[in-house]
Structure 1
């Protein structure tokens, strides 16, 4: 038995050392674990307080890196409860009842190491402000956000993912200064808002833009000229007609995946030579004869189902897409 205990202790010490935590701090962390939560011995920097019916945040011990508080009834993000948790890297507050007034001043900005903040499915009406400069991922989907405070993202040059899907943002709420400061943003999700125009002021670093489920009717000429890294563009479930898509608007060599499903297109738009996936299903397209797509050698996947186009696709069109591996009609 003593040999088994020795082996167990050695195992735990190894796990502690692998997380760069001195053994004394490990013991203190376990002892300070809130009674409402779980602090697994094999993951000593994590505190699990999810699915507990909590109405407030318990006092979180120092040295916590990962804090899980999702699926509770929390209304206030308290600076006091997190005053010792200055080393947090990951904070999950999804599916609680936090509104904008419930985010106490300094509760977030004091966390100088926080990289991942998840506050999906709360009651926020505005992007929390101020935010820690260390953030890399910010998820605020399915709230009630209709405001992006001025300068809220200034200094957040590490942020590469911003999820604002399923909120109440309108055109006037997304201005040319809304995303100022996000110099390394890669993915922005503005799907399922109330936009009728393409968002302006997107950072040049933007690679993935998700705008599904809005009310967008047209794309301005030259919209992508200041977005040289754009590779994945989703505009499914909007109100785009062919007259609202300028001929060369997608003539951007970086675009790999273009999704225009469930719109009102009557013809195939001009698409870039480097495109690999094209989704045009559920539009009003009748033919591909004059689609002007002779220069699309890399297209591998094409969806045309849900249109009035009838197979077979003309042989010269198929030959144009000589790398095509899958087509859905």
Structure 2
């Protein structure tokens, strides 16, 4: 019996150990990995090399910091991901394939981040897993206790079933001996009493079993269910969430924070019954006009205070007394004209302060004194005309400073000298006229500087000296007329430079010499008439060059020398009559070239020489009447060509010679009388979309490849005789290629705006068929053809 008991005890001890292992926090079945599947997959891969069918261009951040999603190259022969790290596209040549593993722009660019200090992070707890582990521990504990109780109960029962041994003295035995047994031997009497068994009542043994089971049940339920529902309900009733009577509250059990919401309640004063444990307080959208002294005196735990979109005009100097833990204040969109100089002295741990969209006309010199922990200060869209030179001297930890939308006309030399940690400075929309030297000298960690929409006439040489971390500089919408050789000296890490909408008349050869890592240069809407020789020579990493609407009339042959990585050149709105021969030679990665809305009248044979990698060419809205033979012969990678709104007449097979990969051809609103009478299939084998609307065509030979998807023919002068019978038959047979209704983009509309047009093939002759669609002409009309 004892042997069995030992085995039973050993079994339950092993069970407890197993339960403990299974219930260890963080260990789940899903975490186990079954080996062998990876090997199986590898074994199934064939050893023979299959033809290349597609490439995947990975998603990336472009030079403007915007995310471009991934896409797959598998259209026609365009099976390779090409281009640059910051501008990717599909191409047909393996030799131009981009090694995407060398690119680093898959994560958010560091220059887009303001580098804010990390917020307070509590250790995240997985409540579901904790509850599961607790239940496992409790069950294992109950099993162990039940096992021990069972063992001891069994031992007790076994003992009660044994013969009862009474230890009597011989004297006692002699006293109770029956008189008739006086001659009986003493030893026999002793033996008799030793053999007397204990007498048990009929219900004694079952009662003991029930008692043991009840003990086990009580212990088990007390462990698994520590509190009954009734007890839990009573506890909730005893400890309700504290809250103001006029607000609503929410308690976050996960992070132990009490949030109180009093937004848009038409309050005329701050509630006085707010619980001291409040962590965040929303009082935005109310009607009180002032904050009295110690308005939040009991809220010593307050971290976040929202007072925006109200009618505040005055704030008492001691309004925030007692808020030593306050980290975030929102006072934007009120009617504040001035703030007391000591109003923030009771909030030394302030991390962000929003005061934008008020009516502040001045800042007290010591308003921000002592706020060494602050990383965001927004003073934008007020009426500030001048700032005290020491206004920001205590803000050593400031990362982002917004001063946009004010009336600042001058920046004191020492204004930013203590802001060594500043990452972003926004001065957009002020009245600045001159950017002087050394104003930004101490901003060695600044990454973004916005100076757009000011009245800047002059940027002195070395104005940005010392800004070795600058990535983004925006000077758009100013009045800058010239750029000095040393204007951008020392900006070795600049990625984006925007100078659009100024009055710049020319660019000197050495202006951009220190900008070797520049990726985007915008010079649109200026007054640049001539592009000199080698003016962009030092911009070896440039990917986007915008020069549209400058009315450029002359460009030297070497104007774009050195732009080995450029992907987009925009010269829209220029005034070239003809393009110089080999003007774009030496641009191996050029993807898109914009020459639309200009003064071009002729395309010469050598105008686009060397552009074998070009994918899109925009020549619409010019006055082009002549395209010399072989003008596009080098453009073997071109997939889209827009020649609409010009004055083109006859188009022959020589016009499009070399465009074997052309897919989109737009020729609407020209004066074409014929289009490739024969050989379209051979000259343009990959053509998918052809727009011939609003020309002077009278007939068309539908010699298209099977790749053609859409053919637009409305607005021509179709002669409905035997010459158009092939077109009629083709249109009836290929109704999806020449549909009667077509959705297209309207000229000048947004890209996502579409309109539905009628794709008619209207007869102009013979007179009896005038106005009738060729597809609706009765077949008997062509019976003699």
**Aligning the two structures, in what range does the TM-score lie when normalised by the shorter sequence?**
0.7 to 0.9
SS at structure 2 position matched to 1:46: strand
Alignment partners' CA distance in 2, 1:141 and 1:195: 15
How far the C-alpha of 1:226 sits from its partner, in A, is: 2.7
**Pairing 1:322–2:540 present:** yes
Greater displacement, 203-212 / 140-149: 203-212
1:309 to 520, 528, 534: 528
- The structure with the greater share of residues assigned to helix is 2
Aligned partners of 1:125 and 1:145 also within 8 Å: yes
- Write out per-residue CA displacement over residues 104-156 of structure 1, whole angstroms, 9 at most, x where no aligned residue: 34221320010111100111122353211110111101111123223222211
How far the C-alpha of 1:278 sits from its partner, in A, is: 0.9
User: Gaps spanning 5+ residues in structure 1: where?
Assistant: 1-9, 15-25
**Pairing 1:141–2:353 present:** no
How far the C-alpha of 1:82 sits from its partner, in A, is: 1.9
Alignment partners' CA distance in 2, 1:28 and 1:231: 55
**Pairing 1:88–2:312 present:** no
Aligned partners of 2:241 and 2:249 also within 8 Å: no
**Pairing 1:104–2:319 present:** no
Alignment partners' CA distance in 1, 2:356 and 2:276: 29
User: Gaps spanning 5+ residues in structure 2: where?
Assistant: 1-126, 132-235, 548-785
2:474 to 225, 236, 259: 259
Q: Counterpart of 1:213?
A: 429
Aligned partners of 1:45 and 1:63 also within 8 Å: yes
**1:153-232 maps to which residues of 2 (within 5 A)?**
153-171=368-386, 174-199=387-412, 200-202=414-416, 203-205=418-420, 206-232=422-448
**Pairing 1:297–2:516 present:** yes
Aligned partners of 2:332 and 2:354 also within 8 Å: yes
Alignment partners' CA distance in 2, 1:28 and 1:153: 44
Alignment partners' CA distance in 1, 2:349 and 2:506: 50
**Pairing 1:280–2:499 present:** yes
Alignment partners' CA distance in 2, 1:68 and 1:27: 26
2:249 to 39, 57, 62: 39
Greater displacement, 291-300 / 254-263: 291-300
How far the C-alpha of 1:40 sits from its partner, in A, is: 2.8
Alignment partners' CA distance in 2, 1:105 and 1:314: 61
How far the C-alpha of 1:27 sits from its partner, in A, is: 8.4
- Write out per-residue CA displacement over residues 30-79 of structure 1, whole angstroms, 9 at most, x where no aligned residue: 54322332223557521111122222222321211111121222222244
SS at structure 1 position matched to 2:249: coil
Alignment partners' CA distance in 2, 1:160 and 1:40: 28
Aligned partners of 1:86 and 1:111 also within 8 Å: yes
In the alignment of these two chains, the number of paired residues is 302
Aligned partners of 1:30 and 1:39 also within 8 Å: no
Alpha-carbon distance change, 30 to 189 in structure 1, aligned in 2, over 3 angstroms: farther
RMSD over aligned Cα atoms: 2.8
Alignment partners' CA distance in 2, 1:79 and 1:71: 21
Alpha-carbon distance change, 288 to 74 in structure 1, aligned in 2, over 3 angstroms: same
Alignment partners' CA distance in 1, 2:248 and 2:533: 63
RCO comparison, higher one (Cα < 8 Å, 6+): 1
How far the C-alpha of 1:229 sits from its partner, in A, is: 2.3
Alignment partners' CA distance in 1, 2:493 and 2:534: 19
Alpha-carbon distance change, 295 to 81 in structure 1, aligned in 2, over 3 angstroms: closer
Alpha-carbon distance change, 134 to 27 in structure 1, aligned in 2, over 3 angstroms: farther
Alignment partners' CA distance in 2, 1:170 and 1:182: 21
SS at structure 2 position matched to 1:47: strand
SS at structure 2 position matched to 1:226: coil
